[in-house]
Amino acid sequence: MSRILDYNGNDADRTTTVASIVGLKDQQAQFAQVTASSEQEAAAAEAAGIEMVVCMAGSVPSVRRGSSRLFVTAAIDFDGAVTVDELLGAAFSALTDGADAVITARRLDCVRRLAEEDIPVMGHLGFVPKKSTLYGGVRAVGKTAEEARTLWEQFQQLEEAGAFAVECELIPANVMAEINQRTGLTTISLGSGPDADVMFLFGSDICGEGSRTPRHARTYGDLAALHKQLGEARVKALSAFRADVAAKRFPDASEMVQADPVELARFVETLET
């Protein structure tokens, strides 16, 4: 645990810091990162010993209510921030809401502008979902020598622009291993093999909340079944209430308050006069 001053100047304890994340390569250690979008998910991540979470910028306040200690990265891309200045404003807002860093898949000028203000910024390379049509669909990026070379050049450019870390999504594991030992960026692997500084999975995949599990993910729970049971239990309870209303079984004497008969008689008398 590290003591810092957050972007509002307040004392805070964090599971890790930018400096510690950057130093992972020297230690040959790995951190774990998951997604979190709510107070409950953040609290669970902290309780589980996770060091880092990532969320949409708008979810930062909720995540911070769940954990004051986790290292929180806010994704800011296109959510109302189109120009570089708007992106900068969104980044500062996320930081004042409690984020420790931001992540963007925008162009190098955007990364450079954020870094110029000493905002800890992560990039996103490999497969970027919102750009999937450019790759012809969902697929690994870097399977050919030419594509891997272009990817390596993007890593170099991102580091030169001032990013301290990069999310590496769906990069072939052996290509990722070669890049990881050559880049100064802290690497965060999402479906890119074990040779990275941070292992990243979506919380929904870990907990088994979706209808399908991506090839790169591993499911450790079955919250989908619990959600289904919860939904069925909710319908059952509501149906029972509706049936009692139809049969005039609700409310019964234990669920009502009655006025004293004398007081009721006096009240009725006032109505009749």
Task: Report pLDDT for 100.
Answer: 98
Residue 186 near residue 165 (C-beta atoms within 8 A): yes
Q: Counting every residue, how long is the chain?
A: 273
Is 126 found in the same domain as 25? yes
Is 52 found in the same domain as 23? yes
39 is catalytic: no
Is 163 found in the same domain as 138? yes
Task: Report pLDDT for 186.
Answer: 97
Of residues 99, 39, 94, the one with CA closest to residue 65: 39
Task: Report pLDDT for 78.
Answer: 63
Is 267 found in the same domain as 143? no
Name the domain count of the chain.
2
Is 94 found in the same domain as 74? yes
CA dihedral (233, 65, 72, 57) positive or negative: positive
Give the pairing of strands 165-169 and 11-14.
unpaired
Task: Report pLDDT for 79.
Answer: 67
Is 81 found in the same domain as 96? yes
Domain closes at, from 178, 199, 221: 221
Of residues 19, 180, 18, the one with CA closest to residue 99: 18
SS3 assignment, position 123? strand
Task: Show the domain range for 248.
Answer: 226-272
Instruction: Read off the CATH number of the domain in which 147 is found.
Output: 3.20.20.60
> Beta-carbon neighbour count of residue 202 at 10 Å?
18
Domain closes at, from 202, 221, 240: 221
Is 245 found in the same domain as 112? no
SS3 assignment, position 245? helix
Task: Report pLDDT for 130.
Answer: 86
Give the pairing of strands 2-5 and 11-14.
antiparallel
Question: Distance between CA atoms of 76 and 90, rounded to whole angstroms?
Answer: 7
Question: Distance between CA atoms of 78 and 105, rounded to whole angstroms?
Answer: 9
Is 257 found in the same domain as 184? no
Of residues 167, 184, 194, 185, the one with CA closest to residue 54: 167
Is 243 found in the same domain as 217? no
Question: Distance between CA atoms of 186 and 136, rounded to whole angstroms?
Answer: 28
Of residues 185, 193, 210, the one with CA closest to residue 35: 210
Beta carbons within 8 Å of 250's beta carbon, 6+ residues apart: 241, 244
Task: Report pLDDT for 21.
Answer: 97
Give the pLDDT confidence of 21-76 residue by residue, as tens digits. 999 988 888 999 999 999 999 999 999 999 999 999 999 999 999 999 999 999 99
Residue 171 near residue 141 (C-beta atoms within 8 A): yes
Residue 92 near residue 118 (C-beta atoms within 8 A): no
Is 230 found in the same domain as 105? no
Is 250 found in the same domain as 156? no
Beta strands (DSSP E) in 44-163 are: 52-56, 71-75, 101-103, 121-126
Q: Which of 147, 159, 169, 255 is catalytic?
A: 169
Is 230 found in the same domain as 216? no
Task: Report pLDDT for 15.
Answer: 95
Instruction: Please report, in tens digits, the pLDDT of each residue of the chain (273 residues total).
Output: 899 999 999 999 999 999 999 999 888 889 999 999 999 999 999 999 999 999 999 999 999 999 999 999 999 976 668 899 999 999 999 999 999 999 999 999 999 999 999 999 999 999 998 888 988 899 999 999 999 999 999 999 999 999 999 999 999 999 999 999 999 999 999 999 999 999 999 999 999 998 888 889 999 999 999 999 999 999 999 999 999 999 999 999 999 999 999 999 999 999 998
